[in-house]
Structure formats: C-alpha cells, structure tokens
Amino acid sequence: MTDSLSSALPTAVRLTEYTKTEQIEILGDSADPFGVADAGLTWLPKEDHFGIRQKGRLVAHAGLLRLPISIGGVGTQVVGVGGVAVAPDMRGHGLARLVVSAAVDHARTMGPQHGLLFCRPPLVALYQRLGWRTLEQDVHVEQPEGPVVMPLRTMWTPLRDDASWPTGEVRLLSLPM
C-alpha cells in the first residue's frame, strides 16, 4: 500500500447507479479511457457497481456481472469483473485494490466459484498483486458476429477457498464484460 492516503483510507461502497456520467466523473471524457479500443470488441455493461467517493467526488469504480461459461465442456457461471477505474489524479494510492477487493468480497456471495477479468498485458502484474492468476490458454468470447479468441489477457481469482481452475477449453457464452 502506498503512502499518503493510507492514514485515512476511504471505504468502497455499493453504488446504486453507474452510467456513462459516473464513468466520465472518474476517467474524464476521452475516447478510449481503458485503452482497449484497438481490440475492437463489444462489451457488456456491468450489473453491480462498487465505488469510492472522496469529498463527494466519485474517484474509483469496479463492476460485476454474472456470466455463463463453458470450461472443458461443462457449463457453469463466473462473476465477471470489469470497468475497473481510478481517477488519474488519484492513482497509485491503493484505490484499485480497495474497490476491486470490495467487488470480489461481494462476488463471493453470488454463488460462482471463480471471478474472471480481461485486461491489457501491462495490467497483469497489478492484478497479480491483488491475488488474480493468469489463464495461459485461448479464451473464446461471444461477439455480435460470433465467437472470437479474446485478444486481451484473461485472469481469474477463486471465490471459494478450495476453487481451482478446471482444465479444458474455455468459452465465455456471452459478450465479455
């Protein structure tokens, strides 16, 4: 955990609303705030939202969505984590750790055994710090034109103490989150 905010760590709360307006409040109104436009993917919005407010301003977010998946030919569900965002001037103080932890704590109550996220390669080390593991295999996801191999990195985290990742082909049976 880094420095100045650690003496008075804010808490993450469940958000009743998270729309484009709230995303812009955190990340600004740039064209590609997550740096994934090159991948050309269609994404799903998230259903459950967690955020951190500082002096009334929304400065961090993580979203959750339960999704169907096939692993080794067996249908199950995962909790997808997405839309992880921290305001540019607030980065490096542990806010992503806080808000992702709050989201994952909630995900543990949702039923599925695994959390899943997709990220750009430079963020793999950050999520590893937060306890996520990389999935070193192709992961298929749905797109409007049909299934494609996810071009970003896929990471997972156990939502139960004994959860390991099953072997076999991985197909997310929905658009990615």
Ligand X SMILES: CC(C)(COP(=O)(O)OP(=O)(O)OC[C@H]1O[C@@H](n2cnc3c(N)ncnc32)[C@H](O)[C@@H]1OP(=O)(O)O)[C@@H](O)C(=O)NCCC(=O)NCCS
Q: What's the min distance (Å) between Cβ of 86 and ligand X?
A: 4
Nearer to ligand X, 91 or 133 (CB): 91
Q: What's the min distance (Å) between Cβ of 93 and ligand X?
A: 6
Nearer to ligand X, 4 or 16 (CB): 4
Nearer to ligand X, 85 or 159 (CB): 85
Nearer to ligand X, 88 or 166 (CB): 88
Q: What's the min distance (Å) between Cβ of 100 and ligand X?
A: 8
Q: What's the min distance (Å) between Cβ of 58 and ligand X?
A: 12
Q: What gap in Å lies between CA 32 and CA 130, rounded to an integer?
A: 24
Name the site residues for ligand X (rule: CB under 6 A). 1-2, 33-35, 84-86, 91-97, 119, 123, 125-126, 129
